A and B are shown apart, each in its own frame.
Chain A
Amino acid sequence: MTDPDTDIGGPAHRFPVTNHSAIVNARSDDQVVRRRAFDTILASYWKPAYKYIRLKWHADNEDAKDLTQGFFASAFEKNYFATYDARKASFQTFLRTCLDGFVANERKAGRRLKRGGDMDHYQLDFAAAEDELASHASSSLSPEDYFHREWVRWMFTLAVETFRRQCEESGRGLHFQLFERYDLSDDDRQVSYASLAREFGIEPTTVNNYLAAARRDFRRIVLEKLREITATDDEFRTEARSLLGITPQ
């Protein structure tokens, strides 16, 4: 039985502008602010975009690389993201629609974008993306759902890396090690707080406290990343629900 969910928000909901939003800053007249905002968007979306082009548009890897580079270069140059309207769709949907339009136009014009020339060129790890596609290519999802799923995966991957870096910089390496062993390990053997306590030579209560703190910090990082790439509180809340496994209304 599916329960009717209590809803919060709705047609009359106000949309306050969020702070620290790269989407909002992408409209800035200040070139430095705009560039920084664009870099955040690029870092958050290039990999799902690349994989999406490979899957939906059946592009080979070289073509997909050029299209990904070309899309983001064109987006910055023509300021695509400044036209985003949060009342119409989520930013993620908007970006995917822009991407489809861009690829369709390129295909229609029969162009094959070449790296180099006067186009911006970004240092992106396409080889890693290609490895992931080769190892985990099979997917029964629609291209749109696949894009969303890969975006969520990429968000969490970036959050893990940020968490690792912050732990290293703040001398809390043990926090990350415990988090890595308990929450990230692919080891099929059952890992318990007691076994971790033995492995690291600490008390089980310390494992409990450190893991609770690590998870709290990880959650904060995920939400900070999300806030950076959403334009309004409403979109942020909806995407947070989606990321946290709750179906948005």
Chain B
Amino acid sequence: MKWLSDDKLDHLRSVVSEPDFSGTKYSLVKELGRGGMGAVYLAEDRELDRLVAIKVLDTPEITEDLRNRMVREAQIIARLEHPGIVPVHDVGALPDSRIFYAMKYVRGSRLDEYAAQGASLRDRLRKFQAVCDAVAFAHAHGVIHRDLKPQNIMIGAFGEVLVLDWGVAKIRDTPGESVGTVVGTQNYMSPEQARGEIDQLDERSDVYSLGAVLSFLLKDQPKVSKAAQAICLKAMASAKESRYWSAAELSADTGRLLDVEPVSAYRESAVERVSRWVAKNRFLVLLVLAYLLMRILLIFTSRS
């Protein structure tokens, strides 16, 4: 038997893991990234002559039931038409039975890269609100993402926000998933998700992950208000019942934070209320102060 060198061994390992797109309309261009659940490849759609991103799930063997369910769920996800949700073009199985999803190829930066480029707190909050809105739309259609994290959110070339990787999304109230299967990413998954309580997962599990994303966006910011911290804490509450009831509610609170209005997650003191009012109406306050100053000056000059 021929001895396999380390280089040859590594090559064979890549050969084995490289997807075989024969029998599909796609041609492999290159690998874009790899994670615990599979790899994402850049591929060319030969029929439509365009580039697509294809996620190949790392499931060495897949049953017919599981395959059918994944295809069914992908069809539902493919119908989610929202500017903040990356469109799924196609779903199928490779000749070796691995499932793949073809998605729009998004050019831009991931949310973590975007944050590392020094985005301001306001810009971060605006992007975060857009993420909440996209997730809220999916929730309204019964789809739970289950793997929200900065690496699954892209900021496009024109500043648009796109939530990616709906490959492990779950259609609410559909039976069939093996009980106890943990899907998600440590640090971003809710406690019930980490415990594998699949039947307990609902929109609030995504709300927890959104809270973790917000926490990530706030962590290196010098001035984070107590209201912003409270939004994070409420979204990431251990008990589901204590979290926001929906991503839409979380989005609304983030919007209020951006508009310097009181947020539902935080009860202000009288002093904080006044200082917030002053911060929000700074121009008006300055105008009034300037007017008063002029009046005082006028009084003094008329007396003298």
A contact set with B: CB distance below 8 Å: 1, 3-14, 128, 132, 135-136, 152-153, 156-157, 160-161, 183-184, 186, 209, 212-213, 215-216, 218-220, 222-223, 226-227, 233, 236-237, 240-241, 243-246, 249
Contact = CB atoms under 8 A, between A and B. Distances in A.
Contacts of B58: 237, 240-241, 244, 246
Contacts, number: 140
Q: Is the interface of A mostly helix, strand, loop or mixed?
A: helix
Nearest to B18: A215
Contact of B36 (A160, A213, A223, A249): A249
Given A216-B96, A220-B96, A244 B13 contact: yes
B255 interface: no
Given A5-B36, A6-B183, A215-B15, A160 B196 contact: no
A7 B9 contact: no
22 contacts: A3-B35, A4-B188, A6-B183, A6-B185, A10-B194, A11-B195, A12-B180, A12-B195, A152-B13, A156-B9, A157-B2, A160-B4, A160-B12, A184-B12, A186-B8, A212-B22, A213-B22, A215-B16, A223-B61, A243-B13, A246-B36, A246-B58
B40 to A, nearest CB: 11
A161 B168 CA distance: 37
Given A8-B183, A128-B1, A218 B15 contact: yes
A157 B1 CA distance: 7
B253 interface: no
B16 A6 contact: no
B20 A4 contact: no
A227 B46 CA distance: 35
Given A13-B180, A209-B22, A243 B36 contact: no
Interface string B1-38: 11111001111111111101010000000000111110
Nearest to A15: B180
Given A136-B3, A160-B12, 13 more contacts: A6-B183, A7-B37, A7-B184, A8-B37, A10-B180, A14-B178, A135-B3, A156-B12, A184-B12, A186-B5, A215-B20, A226-B60, A246-B34
A183 B36 contact: no
